[in-house]
Structure 1
Amino acid sequence: MGKKLVECSKMKNPQECKFLTDPAFNDNIYSLYQLDSFGKLPGDILGMNKIWMGDYDECMDVGNPKDPDYKTQFCWAHLNVPLGSVLKSKTPTKSVGSTCGEGKPADIKTNVCMPRSCSENDLLAILNNIPHKLAMKGFKSVCEVTCRPTSFNFDLPFWCMTIVLTIVLSLCVSATLFDQYIQKRFGEAHPKKLRYWLAFSFLTNGQNLLRTSRNPNVLKGVECIRFLSFTWVVSGHLWGYFGFADNPLAVVDIFSSIEYEVWINAFFSVDTFFFLSGLMLAYSFLPKLTLRKAMNPNTWLIFYVHRFLRLTPAYISFIFFYATYGLLSDFGPNGLSKVQDMKNCRTLWWKNILYVNNLIEPRRTCLSVTWYMATDTQMYLLSPLFLIPFLFGTTFGFLAILIGLVLSTAITYYLFFRYDLPPTLLRVYMTGNIELIHQLQDFVYAASYVRIPPFLIGIGMGYVMWKTRNVKIRMNLFVSTLFWCISTIICTSSIFSLHWFNRGDEWTTFQRATYYAFSRLLWSVGLSWLVFAINRGQSGLIGKFMSLNFWNPLGKLAFCGYLCHIMIIGTFLNMQKAPLHFSGAFQTYFSNLVPIVFMTTLFALFWSLMFEMPFARLEGYFLQQLMGVPRRNEKDEKQIVECTKI
């Protein structure tokens, strides 16, 4: 092009010049679009705007008219800028470590639009050979290059999962059509020979799932607590993604506002799940347990088989879906999907199906949030140690729970003193100390022997609710109000006590261990009063609201929603063609959380109808045959799913 311009300057006729330069300009205009799509310095540099994004669509649309095979790719160049001195005054940390690379808390990156023929290593070498006035002694200008995917690999695992989805969907659709025909012609009675096929009916399963009437085997308010806790989990994980926002100092500034602790400390939502798990297990199982049954090995065989068959079909099918179709969520400029997690699922799925993913190679995760599934299942395996003593009396039962609490607390103190652990993942993440993050995650956060106190409190409360189910509780207003105040103080203290630590206060190891050991235990005690008050007429408008029937289908979807919510968050955020930006809690909740919870609930409905409800009914039929229970009527079959859900 430059040569053409030189020749043009020597010409006297402007038309000849135009005739000479226009083709050259048109042939090379693509390079201007390519360069224009590069990242540029944004505003708010002093606020540490660390994502300098160009135009993703402009880059991906670049084409060379002379070379149809010329394609470009959108790549991130991660800059190695030492920002420790900048962050020291703004964050409650001593050091941020290296800022270099994908996933680091202070990762500064700008995008380049380069030919697809260039590998990431090629681009790294090219960019580091370009002179930079900002280059510092001892630092390379660019430490890493990561390119966004441009195509999807339709490999064998993908097609295998597609075949499975097609088969199951065909079963569901055909069963639904036949189920509708049977209901119209014969009423609700299903031929026994067809019930295994009809277990896949969208019609019957949808009616059972969306039924708002309360199951008498489920305590009032539980489904509301379950769904609100699920929403809390989603909000907590969504907040974690804002560590990758383009304005991290705005995120850091929330440490100065105590009200944000509700969002920051969403960890208690998982403790609520553990509490509900123990509560419903004791409430539904203890009334059926006798000393004779407890001495029968078949009781415990069915006990464990039920648990495995109840959870695993929906769980493992989503693992395979996540490992194949989940990769489709990674397109776009931001790259916020957990791609390595998805790839790990192709080789590490067996850890999840055995529920040992928190014990064996816990640092290599497949669907990382399912550490909860493993931890909860391990608690379930230990639960007979705390259920059977109740057969010998209330004292023995609560003594067993007390021993479990003491042992768990002692282990917690030992681990905190052994590894000098912090009480929360958040502040240690800000330091960039990866090893300490893994130690807290592996030894404490995902460890069943540390997280079991809420589960044990739940078992104790389930026993109390069972024993008092026919007892009319009379409590005067003063006593009821006193318990409400104590419960509120306990729960709010558990959440907000971390505010000063998150702001930068130093806690001794004893203080950190004490908080971690007792905050979750006391949180569960506060929840115990909430459940008791709702079911024993001591909750007023709160109880009426939490007992509304519309919570029932939402609570049933919490399990599948928990499985898929990380994938939905990544998909939703990757759909945006701009950097993630934190604008405060209100906007974040309504522009991100509400649509994500809605999309997650819709996907959970789809997944539950295809893989949870049908296999739950099949499990009920299987256990009926295993126990030798005759099939009585269609009403019994309709209650199978609800009765087997703990």
Structure 2
Amino acid sequence: MCLIFCRFVIIFWILLQIEGVVVNDSRIQALLLNSSFSIEQLDYRNKNEIRSGEVATPDLCKTLMKRWFQNLNSLKNGTCKNSDDCLDALDQLDAFARYPAPGSPNIYDGSFRKCNDLNEKGGHRRKYCYLIQADEKMNCREEYHSILFKPNRTAFGFCGPEICHGKDYASMFGSMEKTFHFLMDRPVCAAFCTVRDIPKKLQFYFFTAFLIMLGSVVFFSSLYDYVRDTRYRLSSESEKVFGQRIILSFSLWSNIEFIFQDKRPDYIRSLDCIRAITFTWVVGQNVVGHLGFYDDKIRVDPSKISLASSAMSSLLPIYTYLFMSGLTVSYTFLKGKPSLDVLKQPFTWLIFFFHRWIRLTSALMVFIGFFDAYGKYIQGPYDALTGYSMVTQTDLCTYWMDIIHISNFVAVDEMCYLPAWHLAVDFQFTIFAPFFLLAFHYSTVLGTILAIIASLIGSGLTVFFFLQNTILNSAFTGDHVHDDKLVEIILSKPWNQMAPYMMGMIAGCILGKHSGSKRIIHPVASSIIWIIITVLGLVALIFGHFGTSQLEKALTNVSTRAVWSICLMWIIISTELKSAGPIGHYLEHPFWRPFGKLSFCAFIVHHMLLYFLFNIQEEAPKYTSFWHEYFHYTIPIVIYSYFLAFFLSVVVEIPILRIDRLIIDQFVPVSKIEKKTDVEEDDSFKDTSNRSDNTDGSSKKIKKSPENQETDYQSRNAYSPNEPLLENDLY
């Protein structure tokens, strides 16, 4: 006992002699007193033990580790001669693991910031790493995403020389026997570091060249458009030369104006607000979901009813996206009232599919290219703790599946970019949408019946898959394995998501055929319905994750999406019919207009920004409370997402949509879709600008004046029969 006390006094006295060290830090004292820094136990990787393409432990790494252990031993034994070396060794030790925080018994975090601060003092550089221990000897580097998904594993944060590789640390610490007293008696299976070399592949150089070319085109196009508009009062839309209009499509001068300009009168204005709220909701779910991957403190407990936890575990925002997609497709189709002859032409639907594909794919693939080229350089404690999840995700995927939108048929671990499965489901619904659109066009009753039948079939399949897979839950729980299976089997499959999409199509049909109606719902009846809808919405939100048996979980999942779809239907329809009172005014406020237009691109970019924000923290983020995560992570990510989405939209999304419309106007005239005789019989499509009827019955071709050309161009845009099928704001 006396010996232990004397050792403690000696260490404490040595610490007092060294300036800059916090002498009252009992954690450092405990590390020194109860740790063994045996240089003889350091085991390095030699050439005979490594795979092809790898390198052995660098000599400088060996030298720095030996020197660091020698300094720690000297400090521990009271024989430190060089105070600078001792101070450096203690500072590096100060960045080592703390005792685990409550709720995270398997994570011993150190200080990522403290480790980085050491690099500012000069000398050799350090990096922050996590040493992973498992119950058995294995290589957990090969596993996808967080190595902490499996039970009985620990992550031990430490700060070491930057020259050493993660596998070097795994070999060195794996050969020691409890180097630090609170390490578990488990084999070391891997070490993941915050600084690592990323080899530049062909994709990196290709996409960098693409960005340089795109930036040059945008710069010169914007400059040209600016000079035309300010000096010659010529807008890009008034340009008649096809080539120049293509170039002007990339102009920031006109594309930024599109973001803030008012939309046409028949646009469903409430969707802008709903899109913005839904996007914020999705970001909040992803924040909590990522933290829940390795922190069981936030796992959903069905016995506890909490509005906050229910909102973060709910599937309702996913249903909302699909509902709005079905609504806008049917609304724009029925609002345009295309003729039967136009609908009979297969070419019409080919244009419809192509326009929808280019709408969903252009911005997505450009950002996936950016994600693949530069996302791997986002390095930090969260990246290390999750086992380089971004690197693994981008290296093992196939991008062609995102191009043709079938990425929802692979496992979550194999998806190139996780948000892409939402767009894949949406495009697959678009392929089958014409069948229901034609039914709605023929008869509202027929279309509604078919939509309800499809919803019932989809709900039946959902119940079937729930009964076949006991691992499924009715909502997100924070458990990685269960949540991934819920996405793979239920959420990412179109037949299981049929109900909200079909309910949206029914709502779109009602609005499309009764838009502008003067029917006013009685205020008393409207108030009663609003109370009922509010109660139903809260019930769907709070009790959406309940259920013990698989049948109960399945019925909860199916009933929740049905109830929520009914609530959305009433909110949007009552707002359009001016029966929502102040709620309708709030939803239709012009403030939401730019957020509604940017929500698509914001949804695409938010996953990478979440990853970026998590990696700039001092340590790997952990769940604290709902409101802490909401204001500390969710709100900043939403703001950053809209900021980045603004540039993605004006540089990629809007130019591609403008070019798409130009090509259709240039190469797909009305005559290719509708016969000439049919055009002449229908006054709404009649075009008399190309001919003049003489008294002798002959027809002469006349030259158009600039005024007539502009009128003809506007007429084609206003009455083109393919316009209802080419709506830009479908998602």
1:551 to 2:599 alignment: no
Query: 120, 125, 128: which one pairs with 1:74?
Result: 128
- Aligned AA (1:231): T
Deviates more, 1:124-133 or 1:573-582: 124-133
Query: 358, 365, 378: which one pairs with 1:316?
Result: 365
1:444 to 2:490 alignment: yes
- Aligned AA (1:450): N
1:296 to 2:328 alignment: no
1:269 to 2:327 alignment: no
CA distance in 2, matches of 1:183, 1:160: 34
- Aligned AA (1:264): M
Residue aligning to 1:644: 728
CA distance in 2, matches of 1:316, 1:336: 28
Q: 1:320-366 CA deviation, whole Å, 9 max, x = no partner?
A: 00111222322456547895455544651111011000114554111
1:101 to 2:147 alignment: yes
Distance 1:517 1:257, change over 3 A: closer
1:464 to 2:510 alignment: yes
The 8 Å contact of residues 383 and 389 in structure 2, kept in 1 or not, is answered as no
1:232 to 2:286 alignment: no
Does the residue aligned with 2:268 lie in a helix, a strand or coil?
coil
CA distance in 1, matches of 2:182, 2:240: 77
Report 1:207-226 matches (<5 A): 207-211=257-261, 213-226=262-275
The 8 Å contact of residues 331 and 512 in structure 2, kept in 1 or not, is answered as yes
The 8 Å contact of residues 37 and 55 in structure 1, kept in 2 or not, is answered as yes
The 8 Å contact of residues 312 and 353 in structure 1, kept in 2 or not, is answered as yes
CA distance in 1, matches of 2:146, 2:310: 31
Q: 1:282-301 CA deviation, whole Å, 9 max, x = no partner?
A: 11112333332222101111
Does the residue aligned with 2:131 lie in a helix, a strand or coil?
strand
Query: 88, 100, 109: which one pairs with 1:53?
Result: 109
Q: CA offset at residue 172 of structure 1?
A: 1.3
Distance 1:395 1:226, change over 3 A: same
1:368 to 2:418 alignment: yes
Residue aligning to 2:98: 40
Deviates more, 1:222-231 or 1:628-637: 628-637
Q: CA offset at residue 262 of structure 1?
A: 4.4
Deviates more, 1:311-320 or 1:291-300: 291-300
Larger relative contact order (Cα-Cα within 8 Å, sequence gap ≥ 6) = 1
- Aligned AA (1:348): T
Query: 602, 606, 611: which one pairs with 2:643?
Result: 602
Report 1:189-588 matches (<5 A): 189-190=235-236, 191-193=239-241, 194-211=244-261, 213-243=262-292, 248-249=296-297, 256-286=304-334, 287-332=336-381, 335=384, 339-341=388-390, 344-345=393-394, 347-360=397-410, 363-424=413-474, 426-427=476-477, 429-430=478-479, 434=481, 436-498=482-544, 501=546, 507-588=548-629
CA distance in 1, matches of 2:714, 2:197: 50
Does the residue aligned with 1:557 lie in a helix, a strand or coil?
helix
Q: CA offset at residue 222 of structure 1?
A: 0.9
Q: CA offset at residue 392 of structure 1?
A: 2.5
The 8 Å contact of residues 108 and 156 in structure 2, kept in 1 or not, is answered as yes
CA distance in 2, matches of 1:426, 1:643: 33
CA distance in 2, matches of 1:108, 1:78: 6
Distance 1:419 1:643, change over 3 A: closer
Q: CA offset at residue 115 of structure 1?
A: 3.4
CA distance in 1, matches of 2:602, 2:387: 17
What is the TM-score normalised by the length of structure 1?
Answer: 0.84
The 8 Å contact of residues 165 and 196 in structure 2, kept in 1 or not, is answered as no
The 8 Å contact of residues 444 and 451 in structure 1, kept in 2 or not, is answered as yes
The 8 Å contact of residues 287 and 629 in structure 2, kept in 1 or not, is answered as no
Q: CA offset at residue 596 of structure 1?
A: 1.4
Does the residue aligned with 1:164 lie in a helix, a strand or coil?
helix
Deviates more, 1:489-498 or 1:247-256: 247-256
The 8 Å contact of residues 310 and 619 in structure 1, kept in 2 or not, is answered as no
Q: CA offset at residue 620 of structure 1?
A: 0.8
- Aligned AA (2:206): C
Structure 1: runs of 5+ lacking an equivalent: 1-20, 83-98
1:165 to 2:215 alignment: no
Q: CA offset at residue 251 of structure 1?
A: 6.7
Does the residue aligned with 1:145 lie in a helix, a strand or coil?
strand
Q: CA offset at residue 460 of structure 1?
A: 0.8
Distance 1:469 1:359, change over 3 A: same
CA distance in 2, matches of 1:40, 1:135: 11
The 8 Å contact of residues 285 and 312 in structure 2, kept in 1 or not, is answered as yes
Does the residue aligned with 2:130 lie in a helix, a strand or coil?
strand
Does the residue aligned with 1:77 lie in a helix, a strand or coil?
strand
Residue aligning to 2:51: none
- Aligned AA (1:468): H
Residue aligning to 2:222: 176
- Aligned AA (1:273): Y
Report 1:135-154 matches (<5 A): 140-154=186-200
- Aligned AA (1:397): G
The 8 Å contact of residues 283 and 463 in structure 1, kept in 2 or not, is answered as yes
Distance 1:425 1:118, change over 3 A: farther
Q: 1:389-424 CA deviation, whole Å, 9 max, x = no partner?
A: 123212211121122112111211211112235333
CA distance in 2, matches of 1:336, 1:533: 48
The 8 Å contact of residues 309 and 626 in structure 2, kept in 1 or not, is answered as no
Does the residue aligned with 1:73 lie in a helix, a strand or coil?
strand
Percent identity over paired residues: 24
Q: CA offset at residue 444 of structure 1?
A: 0.9
- Aligned AA (1:409): S
CA distance in 1, matches of 2:215, 2:327: 35
CA distance in 1, matches of 2:310, 2:287: 13
Q: 1:263-320 CA deviation, whole Å, 9 max, x = no partner?
A: 3234211211111111111111123333322221011111101111222211110110
The 8 Å contact of residues 258 and 496 in structure 1, kept in 2 or not, is answered as yes
Residue aligning to 1:623: 664
1:590 to 2:618 alignment: no
Does the residue aligned with 1:551 lie in a helix, a strand or coil?
helix
CA distance in 1, matches of 2:320, 2:151: 29
Distance 1:567 1:63, change over 3 A: closer
Structure 2: runs of 5+ lacking an equivalent: 1-78, 137-144, 671-686, 688-708
Q: CA offset at residue 141 of structure 1?
A: 5.0
CA distance in 1, matches of 2:286, 2:350: 36
Q: CA offset at residue 578 of structure 1?
A: 3.0
Does the residue aligned with 2:321 lie in a helix, a strand or coil?
helix
The 8 Å contact of residues 283 and 606 in structure 2, kept in 1 or not, is answered as yes
Q: CA offset at residue 30 of structure 1?
A: 3.6
RMSD between aligned residues: 3.3
Distance 1:141 1:424, change over 3 A: farther
CA distance in 1, matches of 2:464, 2:343: 34
The 8 Å contact of residues 101 and 143 in structure 1, kept in 2 or not, is answered as no
What is the TM-score normalised by the length of structure 2?
Answer: 0.74
Q: 1:188-223 CA deviation, whole Å, 9 max, x = no partner?
A: 444322111000010100001122x23334212011
- Aligned AA (2:108): W
